[in-house]
Structure 1
Amino acid sequence: MNNVKKSESSAGKPETKNKHMILGAVLGNNFGSHPAAWRMPHADLGSYTNIDAIVKQARSAERGGMQFLFLPERLFLQGDLSKAPPLFNIDPIITLSAVAQATEKIGLMGTASTSFTEPYLLARQFKALDVISRGRAGWNAVPSYEPVAFANFGKVPPLRENKYERLHEVVQIVQALWGSWGYEAGRPDPNGMFADPAHIRPIDLQGKHVGARGPLPIPPSEQGQPVIMMPASSGYGLQAAGMYANVVVGMPSTIQESRAIRRALQEAAVQAGRDPEEIKFVVFAGFTVGETKRKALDARRALDDRTDIRGPLSHLGAYLGLREEIALPDAPLTAAQLASVRANPQDARSILAVKLAKAGWSPRDILAHGVFEATPTIVGTAEEAADYLQEWFEAGAADGFVTNFDDFHTGIDEFVDRVVPVLRERGLFLDGYEGKTLRDHLSLPEQYGLDPRIANESTGGAL
Structure 2
Amino acid sequence: MTTPQMLLAIQIANGYGAQPGAWRMPGVDPSGYTDMDVLVRHAQAAERGKIQLVFLADTPALTVDLEREAPQMAVDPLVVLTSMARGTERIGLVATASTTLNEPYTIARQFKALDVASHGRAGWNAVPTSSPAAAANHGLALPPRAEKYERAHEVVQIVQALWGSWERAAWVRDVAGGRFADTSKIRPVDLQGRHVASRGPLPIPPSEQGQPVVFQAGGGGNGLEVAARYASGVYANPFSIEEGRAHRTALRAAAERVGRDPDEVELFAGFMPSVASSRRAALDRRRRLDEVVDLDQRVTYLGAMLGLRLGAEQLDEPLTDQQLAAARPSPGDPRAPHTLEIAREGWSLRDVLAHGVIDYHPVVPGTAADVADHMQQWFEAGACDGFSLAIDVHADGIDAFVDQVVPLLQERGLFHRDYEGATLRDHLGAPDQYGLDPRLAGAAHASS
2:275 match: 289
2:238 pairs with 223, 232, 252, which one?
A: 252
CA 1:186–1:326 in 2, change beyond 3 Å: closer, same or farther?
closer
Confirm or deny that 1:44 pairs with 2:29. yes
Instruction: State the Cα RMSD in Å.
Output: 1.9
1:203 deviation in Å? 1.4
Q: CA deviation at 1:212?
A: 1.6
Q: Give the drift of 1:128.
A: 0.6
- The answer to which structure, 1 or 2, has the higher relative contact order (CA under 8 A, 6+ apart) is 1
User: How much has 1:89 moved relative to structure 2?
Assistant: 0.8
CA distance in 1: counterparts of 2:312 and 2:98, whole angstroms: 43
How big is the shift at 1:145? 2.4
Deviations 1:133-183 (A, max 9, x none): 000000001111222222222222212222222211111111011111111
1:414 aligned onto 2:400 = yes
One-letter identity of the residue aligned with 2:163: W
The match for 1:31 among 16, 19, 31 is 16
Q: How many angstroms apart in 2 are the aligned matches of 1:170 and 1:30?
A: 30
Q: CA deviation at 1:187?
A: 4.3
Q: Confirm or deny that 1:155 pairs with 2:140.
A: yes
Task: Please point out which of 386, 403, 409 is paired with 1:400.
Answer: 386
1:107 matched residue in structure 2: 92
Whether the 8 Å contact between 1:282 and 1:402 is mirrored in structure 2 is: yes
Q: Alignment partner for residue 168 of structure 2, among 183, 196, 201?
A: 183
**Paired position in structure 1 for 2:103:** 118
Amino acid in structure 2 at the alignment position of 1:111: T
**3-state DSSP class of the match of 2:301?**
helix
For 1:265, which of 230, 247, 251 is the aligned residue?
251
Please say if residues 300 and 309 of structure 2, whose CA atoms lie closer than 8 Å, have aligned partners that are also in contact.
no
Q: Give a deviation string over 1:3-40, Cα, whole Å, max 9, x none.
A: xxxxxxxxxxxx9x871100010112111221111122
Structure 1 window deviating more from structure 2 (94-103 vs 356-365): it is 356-365
CA deviation digits over 1:245-287, x for unaligned, max 9? 1111111111111111112212221222211111111110001
What amino acid maps onto 1:75 in structure 2?
A: P
Amino acid at match of 2:196: V
| Cα deviation code 1:313-333 (max 9, x no counterpart) | 233334344445363433444
Number of the residue aligned with 2:225: 239
Give the letter aligned to residue 202 of structure 1.
P
Indicate yes or no: 2:445 matched with 1:461. yes
Provide the secondary structure at the position in 2 that maps to 1:284.
strand
Judged with a 3 Å threshold, the aligned counterparts in structure 2 of structure 1 residues 102 and 363 are, in CA distance, closer, same or farther, namely same
Bigger shift: 263-272 or 93-102? 263-272
SS in 2 for 1:105: coil
Confirm or deny that 1:94 pairs with 2:79: yes
Matching residue of 1:208:
194
Q: What's 2:112 paired with?
A: 127
Secondary structure of 1:163's aligned partner:
helix
Residue identity opposite 1:268 in structure 2: A
Instruction: Note the residue ranges of structure 1 that are not aligned, 5 or more in a row.
Output: 1-14
Contact 1:272 1:460 in 2 (8 A): no
Deviation digits for residues 392-430 of structure 1 (CA, Å, limit 9, x no counterpart): 111111111000022122211111111101000101000
Answering whether residue 54 of structure 2 is matched by residue 69 of structure 1, we say: yes
Is there any run of 5+ residues in structure 2 with no aligned partner, and where? Answer: none
Aligned partners of 1:329 and 1:362 also within 8 Å? yes
Q: In the TM superposition, what whole-angstrom CA distance separates every residue of 1:197-218 from its partner, at most 9, and x where no partner exists?
A: 2211221212222222222111
Q: Name whichever of 160-169 and 122-131 sits farther off.
A: 160-169
Contact preservation (8 Å) 1:317, 1:326 = no
Deviation of 1:305 (Å): 3.3
TM-score scaled by structure 2?
0.95
**Which whole-Å CA distance do the structure 2 matches of 1:270 and 1:455 have between them?**
15
| 1:101 alignment partner, SS class | helix
Specify the alignment match of 1:171 in structure 2. 156
Name which of structure 1's ranges 360-369 and 333-342 shifts more when overlaid on structure 2.
Answer: 333-342
Q: Does 1:354 align with 2:340?
A: yes
Residue type of the partner of 2:273? F
SS of residue matched to 1:453: helix
Question: Could you tell me which residue of structure 1 aligns to residue 63 of structure 2?
Answer: 78
Aligned to 1:363: 349
Cα–Cα, structure 1 residues 324 and 151, in superposed 2: closer, same or farther, change >3 Å?
closer
What SS does the aligned partner of 2:55 have? strand
What is the aligned residue count? Answer: 446
